[in-house]
Amino acid sequence: MASTVSTPPTGTPASGEAVDPALERAAERAAARRGALLALPGFVYLGLFFAVPLAIVFVYSFATRSSTGRTILGEWSLRSYGRLFDPLVGGIAWRSLWIAALATAICLLVGYPFAYFIATRSPRVRGLLLVGVMIPFWSNFLVRTYAWRLLLGSDGPLSQLTDLAGLGPSRLLFTPTAVLIGLVYGFLPFMVLPLYAAIERMDFGLVEAARDLYASGWKAFRHVTWPLSRPGVVAGSILVFIPSLGAYVTPEILGGSRTTMLGSFIVRQFLSARDWPFGSSLSFVVMAVMLLATMVYFRVGGKTL
């Protein structure tokens, strides 16, 4: 496939060179029509099965909780938004941001060279290595996470390893580190897949040229490979960061539920506190902030990362 990329096409009509403006406008309109047509199925689907449901919970966020935990529609208030200023919420949000950011950084640090290595194998090996990343994830999520409990436990293999190394038994289970390991484990494929997709399509002729041009491999990487793979980095970071922020099973199982993150906090509002208005408003604020950050990240990250 890479060979297709490196064969330069001939006779491309470079846009805008002395073309009749009327024709050009017609072409633009045709393109817009095609674009809209491509967008239509997704737009209709997400509009119906996502935006409309979302509007329903948006309405719920202004409702009130009755003392039996029922959501009373019709008594509108901003009470649930007011509760967002509780320092409890701030503390949890801050901690979640930190852990999610760390998990994303580690995934990138480990996932990038990993994806690069895979992308530079021969096509057949590539496919095998890539599927090899996904296979573990077709077992069951809970069972995998519980397996980590054993690995990290005080009698687990990791602890025995550090003991043998003379460091004494280590106990990682039920610490924030364990949560971090669990998150990295769970979301590494989310980083690797877009990175692989981005690196694999690079025009390796360019990289080769850069090799010749720059003295060191590092410089070639910094000036050519990295910028070319940036869309993958941006997409991968988002796919890791956001789900990490909302994770709640991992902190519960590996963190012993002592590292409360935003995800668990929201779950609690909907289930055990039965405060749907607060759960809704919390979700909305988190989503709004994330959407904004994502957009900015894409805009900035696409250019200057």
Partner 1 sequence: MRNRLTILLVALAMAAAACAGERGSDTAAGGGEDGGATGDGETGGGDADADGGETGDGDCADGDTDGDLVLYNWSDYIDPELLEAFSQEHGVSVTEDFYPSNEEMLAKVQGGASGYDIVVPSDYMVGIMIGEGLLAELDRDALPNADNVDEEFSDPPFDPGSVYSMPYQWGTTGLGVDLEVVGEDAPHSWALLFDPEVTADYQGRMSMLDDPREAMAAALAYLGHDINTTSEDELGEAADLIAETSDRLAAFDSNLYGDLLMSGETAVAHGYSGTFFAAFDEADDPDRYTYVIPEEGGVKWVDTIAILADAPHPCTAHTFINFILDAENGAALTNWTYYASPNAAAEEFIVEDILEDPAIYPPEEVLAELEFLRDTGDAEILYNDLFTRAKS
Partner 2 sequence: MRAGDAVRPRGPAQRVLAANTWAVYVFLYAPILLLIVFSFNDNRIVGVWNTASLRWYREMLDNAAVLNALRNSLIVALASTAVSTVIGTAAALALERFRFPGRRVYDGLVYLPVIIPDVTMAVMMLLFFVEAFVIVQAVLGISPSLGIPTITLSHIAFNISFVAIVVRARLAGLDPALEEAAADLYASRWQAFRRVTLPLIMPGVLGGALLALTLSLDDVVVTSFVAGPGSTTLPVYVFGLVRRGVTPLINAVSTVMLVASMLLVLGSLLIQRRSPDRA
Q: Which candidate, 259, 262, 270, places its Cα nearest to that of 287?
A: 262
The identity of residue 127, as a single letter, is G
Q: Which two tokens stand for residue 2?
A: 């890479």
User: Residue 236, Cβ neighbours under 10 Å: how many?
Assistant: 29
* 276 lies in the binding site for partner 1 (CB under 8 A): yes
183 touches which of partner 2, partner 1, none (CB within 5 to 8 A by kind)? none
Residue closer to partner 1, measured from CB, 27 or 89: 89
Please tell me the count of residues contacting partner 1 according to CB under 8 A: 51
302 touches which of partner 2, partner 1, none (CB within 5 to 8 A by kind)? partner 2
- Residue 86 to residue 69: CA distance in whole angstroms: 20
Q: Is the Cβ–Cβ distance between 60 and 40 less than 8 Å? A: no
Residue closer to partner 1, measured from CB, 142 or 213: 142
Residues 130-149 that bind partner 1 (CB under 8 A): 146, 149
* 260 lies in the binding site for partner 1 (CB under 8 A): yes
Q: Is the Cβ–Cβ distance between 105 and 233 less than 8 Å? A: no
* 168 lies in the binding site for partner 1 (CB under 8 A): no
* 212 lies in the binding site for partner 1 (CB under 8 A): no
* 75 lies in the binding site for partner 1 (CB under 8 A): yes
Helix (H, G, I), strand (E, B) or coil at 1: coil
Residue 184 is classified by DSSP as H
252 touches which of partner 1, partner 2, none (CB within 5 to 8 A by kind)? partner 1
257 touches which of partner 1, partner 2, none (CB within 5 to 8 A by kind)? partner 1
- Please identify which residue in 256, 290, 294, 301 interacts with partner 1, judged by CB under 8 A: 256
Of the candidate spans 13-21, 125-133, 186-194, 250-258, the one that interacts with partner 1 by CB under 8 A turns out to be 250-258
* 84 lies in the binding site for partner 1 (CB under 8 A): no
Q: How far is the CB of 36 from partner 2 (least distance, A)?
A: 4
Q: How far is the CB of 257 from partner 2 (least distance, A)?
A: 14
Q: Is the Cβ–Cβ distance between 183 and 247 less than 8 Å? A: yes
CB neighbour class for 265 (10 Å; exposed up to 12, middle 13-18, buried from 19): buried
Angle, helices 262-270 vs 276-304, to 10°: value is 150
The secondary structure of 50-82 as a DSSP string is IIHHHHHHHHHTTSEE-TTS-EETTS--SHHHH
For the chain, the C-alpha Rg in angstroms (whole number) is 25
Q: How far is the CB of 8 from partner 2 (least distance, A)?
A: 9
- Please identify which residue in 112, 114, 174, 187 interacts with partner 1, judged by CB under 8 A: 174
- Residue 103 to residue 80: CA distance in whole angstroms: 30
Q: How far is the CB of 105 from partner 2 (least distance, A)?
A: 15
* 55 lies in the binding site for partner 1 (CB under 8 A): yes
Which residues is 65 bridged to in the sheet?
Answer: 71
133 touches which of partner 2, partner 1, none (CB within 5 to 8 A by kind)? partner 2
What count of residues does the chain have?
Answer: 305
* 69 lies in the binding site for partner 1 (CB under 8 A): yes
* 59 lies in the binding site for partner 1 (CB under 8 A): yes
Q: Which candidate, 186, 110, 111, places its Cα nearest to that of 143?
A: 186
Interface residue list for partner 1 (CB under 8 A): 51-52, 54-56, 58-59, 63, 65-75, 86, 88, 91-92, 95, 146, 149-150, 153-155, 171, 173-174, 252-253, 255-260, 265, 268-276
